[in-house]
Structure 1
Amino acid sequence: MPERNRWSVVVGLGLVVFMATLDATAVAIALPAIERGYGVTTTVTEWVVLGYLLPLIAVSLPAGRWLDGVGLRGAHVFATAGFGLSSLAAGLAPGIGWLVAARAVQGTFAGILFALGPMIATRVVRPEARGRAVGVITSLGPLGAVSGPVLGGLIVDGLGWPWIFYLNLPVCLAVILIGWAGLSPDRPLVPPGRTLLAEAVVLGAALVAGMLALSLAAGRHPAWLLLALAAVPPLIVWARMEGSRGTRALIRAPGVAGPLVTVMLISMAAAAVEFTVSFHLQRVAGLGPSAAGMTLLAFPAGMVPAGLLAGLLVDRWSAAGTARLGALVLAAGLALLVPLDATWSPAEVLWRLGIAGCGVGLTNGPAVTLVMTRAAGDLLGTAGAAQSLARQLGFAVAPALVTTVWAGYGYAPAGLRAAMLPVTAAAVLALVALARSRTARPAEDDLAARPSAADA
């Protein structure tokens, strides 16, 4: 147990997680400029995004297992420095091939950072502050995702697209210095073994097949089923590998599976509502991109303060109770958005988005806190990686879900309203998952009264 709360480490790591999440979405707005600059086709430039996301997700679980066996300070410096240097390489890339390669390295280090964030947050503060520490990480991360297109557009217009990457450098340097000063030396940093690399390759194969299946399913292409089936053999191979044992043990631990499912469902709902409402505002309500973007900012405006409040509620009340309250608020906000009336003014959409954003903020951090505090002490890295993977899968599924429903209505406005129904159902299912994930110990959710597994 730490003698004092090291908030500078928590905030610093939250900032680099914010930048890593921002890079996943901000680059999308820069793709036309990258396409013109390198003189390549749109099909090629798509790999600037995919080259980041695929390794990010593929390395999540292997990275978590690696983090379970290395020192936190060394891993913190290694991952942050790797992310910063690969960002520099991306900004300086002389051609599209170099850019995609740099993005792949950048995504790999981002995957490590996403697993490392909650792990460090639960280790550098006292038990009565863990909810707030995790809340900082889980609020800044999603904020990067939703603010990426807005900030990316400003950077591209004002400085040029390479600065999306260059701006990571001073942040990474500051975070390294903070981490070096705030984290005590512990176990040495050892390179990942061949088995970890093999796990990443196998999971990456399953991921590529699954992502392609989702893309084709949204367009109702019959080949999607074949690709979905192609993802099964790599998953079976991974399940038989030695490295999967920790993940299976984590999922079987009392009270862990429900919060993990909640993280995925809440992330899916958050991404889907922004996707759906964005199209509604521009195609149905007739707003321009700038006005639509400003309206959508109501979502993070509700999410961030609610996430910080959730951390306080976790520390003073209950993690599970706060998560259930958040899922209920999110379901209410999404239900209010279901009509998506063409006559609604931006203000009428805005306050509904604000309620939904509050629901996400109140649910996300407490659900991650439950995962981290219910995990065994030697599986904290795996737990951090599992929640990161659950979140990324939710973000990946959301556009395919909305597009599939919308396509069934011939891309008419009624299809957007219909798509809000399964999105709302996701929040209800999250509430059910939380209600069914109670542990056998009655004091499980009183985080301030007990040490976590990290202190055992």
Structure 2
Amino acid sequence: MNGETPRNRWWLVAASGIAVFMTQLDATVVNVAIPTIQEEMGIGPSLAQWVVLAYTLPLIALTVPSGRWLDGVGARTALVLSVSGFGVASALVGLAPGIVWLVVARALQGAFGAVLLALISLLATIAVREQARGRAMSLVLLLGGLGGMSGPVLGGLLIETLGWPWIFYLNVPACVLVIAIGMTQLPPGGRPHLPDRAWVAEAGLLGAAAVALLLALSLAGGSGAGWVALAAAAVPFMLVWLRLPGSRPVVDLLRAPGVAAPHLALLAEMAAVMAVQFLVPFHLQRVAGVAPAQIGLTMLAFPVAMLLTGPVGGALADRWDARRVARLGTVLVTAGIALIIPLGSGWGPADLAWRLAVVGAGAGLFAGPDQAMAMAATPRLLLGTTAATTSLARQLGVALGPALATGVWALAGYEPQGMRLAVALATALACASVLALTWPARRPTLRTTQ
């Protein structure tokens, strides 16, 4: 993966976008299918939740080790292995005769999905010249956001017409398309090598920390402080991981000039946005008495605005400056969320739709330029690691936002005032993303010689 990119390969960028669309779609589409799966398989809610957790845990546990593995493997080899594995696992999920098979297949999906999420930003980086990197990142991340947002809608349609297995079967032809594009756009890579024992140990420690953290977040809205103890249980695993040689490249990378800021901004922005996305439907249903179909249409304001501004953000980043564009995006996100803080009892879909559109417009401007900043500040030999660490920051933000919102709302007895306090916290998180990109960089330019 060395050498300069001779030309812009937009088909490869499109393939990366399809891949991230699939992985993010599968992270959310299953939420709609769980009630049907639970009924057909005759299982309880406590067991059904592992259909989600089995996919999420590998995404968090394996993303960073996968990024380091990618640094030593050819891009074409990594693409074929990860996409074919994801496609086979998807078919196995649809064919599952029982819950054990289903959970194991979902875990395989998550494992290959972790490699894919680490790979896609790398592919978008090497597919185009540096002058087009902002547009490439914006396109890929835009498709990822649309995959997550469209999951519930697409899942509902497929379950009603074809049955829940088809939400996973449709991944198979998409995987074939991605592999076909990769085979024509990427040069032959080196022979694949299996991860060593150190990689397995690293994944085990990060997996154990992820289990403790996810369980803690799932209990954060309940009574008692048990979730705090669970969250604290993740600390020893992380401390042991920090003592492993495999953690050193990641730590050194995050200490490098220009790398930490986009990571922190991404984590804070994702947590803020997901907190609002979690709370708004509850307000519309419980306070405004809006029907579910109308709630879905209201929530579409966010992805539609993101769809419109995403390409603009990428183009501006290539022609102007990635940091400035990303910062402008975070300012818009902060302003949009701050406008939601009053959350009046008389607010209906129209009152929230335009505010969500402001947030979505900011998110579209932010996503691609922020990723381009992180990749531009990274030495070329560590691009896979940065692709993985930014993916991890994004996944942690997705999990953290709703958990924090639920915790604040619960402390207020699940009253409307608690929603307002939770939105205020989301605004503070969005402000943190602005500060992360405003803090003076340790070097004058983002463009580095690689």
On the 8 A contact 1:17/1:113 being kept in 2, the answer is yes
Match of 2:37 in 1: 34
Is residue 136–residue 368 contact of structure 2 (8 Å, CA) maintained in 1? no
Q: For the Cα contact (< 8 Å) 1:266–1:364, is it kept in 2?
A: no
In structure 2, which of residues 30, 44, 48 is the aligned counterpart of residue 45 of structure 1? 48
Distance apart, 1:221 and its partner CA: 2.5
CA distance in 2, matches of 1:190, 1:52: 24
Residue 135 of structure 2, aligned match among 108, 132, 136: 132
CA distance in 2, matches of 1:86, 1:214: 27
Residues 293 and 237 of structure 1, relative CA distance in 2, 3 Å threshold: same
Note the C-alpha offset of 1:437.
5.1
Letter in structure 1 aligned against 2:65: P
Per the TM alignment, residue 439 of structure 1 is displaced from its structure 2 partner at its CA by 3.4
1:152 aligns with 2:125: no
Structure 2: unaligned runs, 5 residues or longer: none
What corresponds to 1:280 in structure 2? 283
Mapped to 1, the partners of 2:391 and 2:440 lie a distance apart of 19
Counterpart selection for 1:123 from 119, 123, 126: 126
Amino acid at match of 2:317: V
**d(CA) in 2 for partners of 1:19, 1:77:** 15
**Residue matched to 2:335:** 332
Trace 1:250-289 onto structure 2 (pairs within 5 A). 250-289=253-292
Matched, 1:14 2:51: no
Letter in 1 for 2:399: A
Name the CA distance, whole Å, in 2 between partners of 1:198 and 1:137.
31
One-letter identity of the residue aligned with 1:380: L
Cα distance in 1 between the residues matched to 2:350 and 2:233: 46
Query: Is it true that 1:391 corresponds to 2:394 in the alignment?
Result: yes
Q: Does 1:222 align with 2:218?
A: no
**8 Å contact 1:83–1:106 — kept in the other structure?**
yes
In structure 2, the residue matched to 1:196 is 199
Q: CA offsets per residue over residues 365-416 of structure 1, 9 Å max, x none?
A: 1111111110122211110000000000001111111111111211111111
Select the residue among 313, 328, 335 that pairs with 1:310. 313
Instruction: Determine whether 1:104 maps to 2:100.
Output: no
Distance 1:306 1:268 in 2: 20
Q: CA deviation at 1:187?
A: 3.1
Give the Cα separation in 2 of the matches to 1:416 and 1:222.
Answer: 21
Asked if the contact 2:19–2:120 (Cα under 8 Å) also holds between the matched residues in 1, the reply is: no
Q: CA deviation at 1:73?
A: 0.5
Alpha-carbon distance, 1:317 to partner: 0.5
Q: CA deviation at 1:327?
A: 0.5
Task: Select which of 405, 412, 421 maps to 2:415.
Answer: 412
Farther-moved stretch of structure 1 (386-395 vs 368-377): 368-377
Deviations 1:215-272 (A, max 9, x none): 2222132222221221111101100011101100110110111110111111111211
- Conservation of the 8 A alpha-carbon contact between 1:115 and 1:388: yes
| Distance in 1 separating the partners of 2:350 and 2:376 | 40
The superposition leaves residues 255-293 of structure 1 with CA deviations (integer Å, 9 ceiling, x where unpaired) of 111110111111111211110101111111111111101
- 8 Å CA contact 2:284, 2:348 repeated in 1: no
Residue 443 (structure 1) aligned with residue 445 (structure 2)? yes
Q: Which amino acid aligns with 1:16?
A: A
1:257–1:437 CA contact under 8 A, matched in 2:
no
Q: Percent identity?
A: 50
Cα–Cα, structure 1 residues 279 and 437, in superposed 2: closer, same or farther, change >3 Å? Answer: farther
Moved over 4 A (4+): none
Instruction: Answer whether contact 1:73 1:183 (CA < 8 A) is retained.
Output: yes
Q: For the residues of structure 1 that align with 2:439 and 2:353, how far apart are their CA atoms?
A: 33
Q: CA deviation at 1:188?
A: 2.9
2:8 is the alignment partner of 1:5: yes
Question: Secondary structure of the residue that 2:245 maps to in structure 1?
Answer: coil
Q: Deviations over 1:134-189 (max 9, x none)?
A: 11111111211122111111111111110110010111001100011001123332
Considering only aligned residues, what root-mean-square deviation do their CA atoms show, in Å?
A: 1.1
Which amino acid letter does the alignment assign opposite residue 332 of structure 2?
V
* Structure 1 CA distance for aligned equivalents of residues 31 and 173 of structure 2: 22
Aligned equivalents of 2:228 and 2:35: distance in 1?
32
Corresponding position: 1:370 with 2:373: yes
Residues 437 and 161 of structure 1, relative CA distance in 2, 3 Å threshold: farther
Closer/same/farther in 2, CA of residues 10 and 283 from structure 1, 3 Å limit: same
Aligned pair 1:170/2:139, yes or no?
A: no
Quote the Cα distance in structure 1 between the aligned partners of 2:377 and 2:221: 36
Q: Deviations over 1:2-29 (max 9, x none)?
A: 2221101111111121011000001001
Opposite residue 365 of structure 2, the aligned amino acid is L
Name 1:238's counterpart in structure 2. Answer: 241
> Following TM superposition, by how much is the alpha carbon of 1:114 offset from its aligned partner in structure 2, in angstroms?
0.7
TM-score by length of 2: 0.97
**Whole-angstrom distance in 1 between the partners of 2:231 and 2:172:** 39
2:121 maps to 1:86: no
SS at match of 2:350: helix
Match 1:424 to one of 411, 422, 427: 427
Matched residues, number: 447
Name the residue aligned to 2:79. Answer: 76
Matched residue type, 1:443: T
Tell me how far apart the structure 2 counterparts of residues 226 and 414 of structure 1 sit (CA, whole Å): 27
| AA at the equivalent of 1:120 | L
Aligned to 1:295: 298
Partner secondary structure for residue 243 of structure 1:
helix
AA partner of residue 35 (structure 1): Q
For residue 94 of structure 1, give the secondary structure of its aligned residue in structure 2.
coil
2:265 maps to a residue whose letter is T
For 2:213 and 2:282, locate their aligned partners in 1 and report how far apart those are by CA, in whole Å: 25
